[in-house]
Amino acid sequence: MNFFEQFKYCPCCAHNYSPKDFISRDFVFHCPQCHYEFYQNGTPAATALIPYAENPELILLITRNTSPGKGLLDLPGGILRYGELPEEAVVREIQEETLLDIKPTAILQISAIDYHYKGYQVFVVETCFLTEPIKDNISKVSTDEASSIGYYPAASFIKHPDRLAFPEHAEIFKKYLNFLQ
Ligand SMILES: [Zn+2]
């Protein structure tokens, strides 16, 4: 059972749901009182693969300071805000995390990552952008969400996806390395 099937009340009118109010085929609660349709959707996110201009085999990664994957490496990025497009979100998130102004140039991959967060299951649909390489030898983080930042060889994660907070991202590194050749 998905955690949201245990939701008890309509978020609009506080009607007490009964099991028949959840239509599992459509992942939606139909409120019989106010008719609000409470859809359970995936959560859109955007990340960036940022190559180092001096050596494009090196890419910028953060060490996560939050769960899930605390202490492991991750692509910078985050969850979209309401009304944002993925390419807007990725520019904003990376500004916040690294103070860098990035320029997305292509979509490398769209991944699904089903993860556990504070007792809930979150189904993240993540767009990963390739960006223009950057020249800055960046080493300072500007967010509590990361404990450090640096450049790492993309190839090392093909052999060791366990060093990544989300091993699903190994596919992105593979695609990128093919793209470089
Ligand atoms: Zn309602």
For residues 73-102, give the mean pLDDT. 95
How far, in Å, is the centroid of ligand 1 from the Cα of 124?
A: 26
93 and 148, same domain (yes or no): yes
Question: pLDDT digits over 104-160, tens only?
Answer: 999 999 999 988 877 788 899 999 999 999 987 777 776 788 888 999 999 999 999
> In angstroms, how far is CA 115 from the centroid of its own chain?
10
Q: How far apart are CA 95 and CA 133, in angstroms?
A: 15
Q: Is 104 left (phi over 0), alpha (psi -120 to 50) or beta?
A: beta
152 and 101, same domain (yes or no): yes
Question: pLDDT digits over 29-79, tens only?
Answer: 999 999 999 999 999 999 999 999 999 999 999 999 988 889 999 999 999
Q: How confident is the model at residue 1 (pLDDT cuts 50, 70, 90)?
A: low
90 and 150, same domain (yes or no): yes
Q: Is the pLDDT of residue 27 over 70?
A: yes
How far, in Å, is the centroid of ligand 1 from the Cα of 140?
A: 47
What domain range includes position 16? 3-39
Q: Look at the pTM and tell me if it is higher than 0.85.
A: yes
146 and 171, same domain (yes or no): yes
Q: What is the number of domains present in the chain?
A: 2
20 and 96, same domain (yes or no): no
109 and 160, same domain (yes or no): yes
- Residues by chain with Cβ below 5 Å of ion ligand 1: 10, 12-13, 15, 31, 33-34, 36
Q: How far apart are CA 100 and CA 111, in angstroms?
A: 24
135 and 108, same domain (yes or no): yes
